[in-house]
Amino acid sequence: MRSSTPQDLIGRCKACLLPIEACLCGAIEKVETQTRFLILRHVKEAWKTSNTARLAALAIPGATVRAYGQPHDPVPAPGEGVTWLLFPGARAHVPPGRPDLIVVLDGTWAQARRMTQRIAWLKGMPRLSLLPVAAHDGLRREPDAASMPTVIAISRAVALLEGEGKAQKLERLHGELVRRVRSLRGVE
């Protein structure tokens, strides 16, 4: 089922975009991280209720969401510091050292692959590739075992770098989103 939010937001929370009666904002636990996150979200994802990058940005203070995909709107490269790209690979890989910033691509898998091809500064960036997670309930069908919702991928990066306790807050938030959206759709 297509997941979309009317742009006028009538009857919707302006932060989580869910209908007011299902607003998720009260369930968001803040996740303080040393690592910063830059989420490049495809413009077609901005109004989807199933978009989980929004949740990560609401939970992680300092996380930034930038739109990608507007004509004539280049995406500036991040500033100085060690930056990794969180993106699946053929196998798990953790670059040496510790990042100051992790870039996360948010969109369909086809959109994310195109971003890696079209954004020049992503091409030489060290990639953090995670192990597939155990099966999880989601709002979208994942194309393969290495694929996962954006907030789950971010939670796995947080677990790796900063501990499982912080990651569990993001995973609980994702579970609550899935529960509420399925309830709104009449699916249990």
pLDDT tens, residue by residue, 3-42: 556 567 788 999 999 999 999 999 999 999 999 999 999 9
| pLDDT tens, position by position, 67-95 | 998 877 778 888 889 999 999 877 889 99
8 inside domain? no
Does the residue 9 lie in any domain? no
Q: Of 144, 135, 146, whose CA–CA distance to 178 is shortest?
A: 135
The Cα 128–Cα 68 span in angstroms is 21
DSSP 3-state of 105:
strand
Residue 137 has pLDDT above 70, yes or no: no
**Residue 48 reports pLDDT greater than 90:** no
Strands (E), 50-169: 64-68, 83-86, 101-106, 127-128
Higher pLDDT, 2 or 38: 38
Q: Is residue 162 part of a domain?
A: yes
Please check the confidence at residue 120 and state whether its pLDDT lies above 80: yes
Q: What is the pLDDT of residue 1?
A: 40
What's the average model confidence in pLDDT over 160-169? 95
The number of folded domains in the chain is: 1
Nearest to 29 by CA among 159, 148, 166: 166
Higher pLDDT, 144 or 26: 26
Does residue 6 sit within a domain? no
Let me know if residue 10 belongs to a domain: no
Examine residue 62 and state whether it is found in any structural domain, yes or no. Answer: yes
pTM, whole model, 2 decimals?
0.88
Strands 36-42 and 83-86: unpaired
Residue 147: which CATH number?
A: 3.40.1280
Show the domain range for 173.
30-185
Distances from the Cα of 165 to the Cαs of 69, 85, 100, in angstroms? Answer: 34, 23, 20
Q: What is the mean pLDDT of residues 104-131?
A: 91
Asked, for residue 179, whether it belongs to a domain, the answer is yes
Question: Is residue 83 in some structural domain?
Answer: yes
Cα dihedral 44/68/151/124 (nearest 10):
140
